[in-house]
Amino acid sequence: MSIEVSGVSKQFGAFTALQDISLTVPSGELVALLGPSGCGKTTLLRIIAGLESPDRGEILFNGENAHDDVRERQVGFVFQHYALFRHMTVFDNVAFGLTVRPRKERPSKGAIRERVHELLKLIQLEGIADRYPAQLSGGQRQRVALARALAVEPKVLLLDEPFGALDAKVRIELRRWLRRLHDEIHVTSVFVTHDQEEALEVADRIVVMNKGKVEQQGTPDEVYSRPASPFVYSFLGTVNMFHARPQAGQTASTEHHSVGYARPHEIDVSRQDPGNGAIAVTVSRVLPLGAIVRLELARVDTGGLMEAEIPREKHEELWFTTGEQVYVSPKNLVVFVEDYQI
């Protein structure tokens, strides 16, 4: 089931949450809506679910207009804070979507029990069917919420910051598990996140959003290595900015400054000035982080801070120390013309 968002806008009072959003989620893919908080990604997800209605535009499932009523839309929605029914056991939570069906469509009690146990097995929580949500850990609750959403065999699965409320280690475990689960069941899924690492690791495609607009959509590799805007570049990882100096021969009418961007691992660090316009910096900190070593640097001319990451072998060879002066030059510079948006 593919999802198509076409020309969707949403206004909350004077605040524009979404501005003419159009995007496509191909059938069977796992797509991340990535952006800072307040960029409208959760609103968009809720509109896709039918929990919120757009002021303009429409949502299409498989090319057809999605049902207005959230109940008829058949989406699985996983909430950031789980929203498990607190007075029901895990079993009753997962069974809920099946037991509320009209008598004619409702599976028999035995069939429901079988289906619930199948799902509990899928989320690896078979032994806890009789517990209440309050007796579960955050990670377990989130998996139960997922099983509950999957019980009704939704056409699409929507997850709102699914790992946002979990601690770092559980978060990483659970997102890998979600990726494996998706490879198994292949239901078209959209999840919202503000964590670029999560999006890069889990998603087939990433939609980067900012201020109610889509900045870029593409595969994780595309958005990471070929960012369409300075915003995408800086949101997807640490970045060093190089402001171009006005150069001889440039027309005086150039109103925009052009800015070059390079990631920390795309910076060459050397003791000798290579003579190609390299920038003199002082090493302010050396942070060995496993396979790489991060250098925090301060420009000699402006005092501006920079970050470089070099492989450990190179560091062991050159052994940079705090306080020494070195030269950096970007190996790969992406240039945007600055339009004063960030």
Binding other proteins (rule: CB under 8 A), the pick from 90, 149, 279, 283 is: 149
Of 37, 110, 134, 321, which one interacts with other proteins (CB under 8 A)? 134
CB 198, min distance to other proteins, A: 21
Question: Are the beta carbons of 283 and 324 closer than 8 angstroms?
Answer: yes
Residue 85 found at the interface with other proteins (CB under 8 A): yes
Q: How far is the CB of 247 from other proteins (least distance, A)?
A: 56
Interface with other proteins, residue 177, by CB under 8 A? no
Options 9, 11, 24, 74; binder of other proteins; rule CB under 8 A? 74
Task: Tell me the longest C-alpha to C-alpha distance in the chain.
Answer: 81
Nearer Cβ to other proteins (46/294): 46
The pair of structure tokens assigned to 132 is: 């209440």
**What's the closest the beta carbon of residue 29 comes to other proteins, in angstroms?**
21
Q: What is the DSSP pairing of strand 30-34 with strand 15-25? A: unpaired
Secondary structure class of 30 (helix, strand, coil): strand
- Of the pair 134, 291, the CB lying nearest other proteins is at 134
Stretch that binds other proteins, among 27-35, 76-84, 195-203, 265-273 (CB under 8 A): 76-84
The size of the interface with other proteins (CB under 8 A), counted in residues, is 29
Q: Is 96 in the site for other proteins (CB under 8 A)?
A: yes
d(CA 70, CA 49) in angstroms, rounded, equals 7
**Helix axis angle, 138-151 relative to 90-99, nearest 10°?**
20
Residues contacting residue 263 through CB under 8 Å, at least 6 positions apart: 237, 238, 239, 240, 332
Residue 330: which residues within 8 A CB-CB, separation 6 or more? 240, 242, 260, 262, 266, 267, 268
Smallest distance from the beta carbon of 165 to other proteins, in angstroms? 12
Site of interaction with other proteins (CB under 8 A): 49-51, 70-71, 73-77, 79, 81, 83-87, 96-97, 100-101, 132-134, 145, 148-149, 151-152
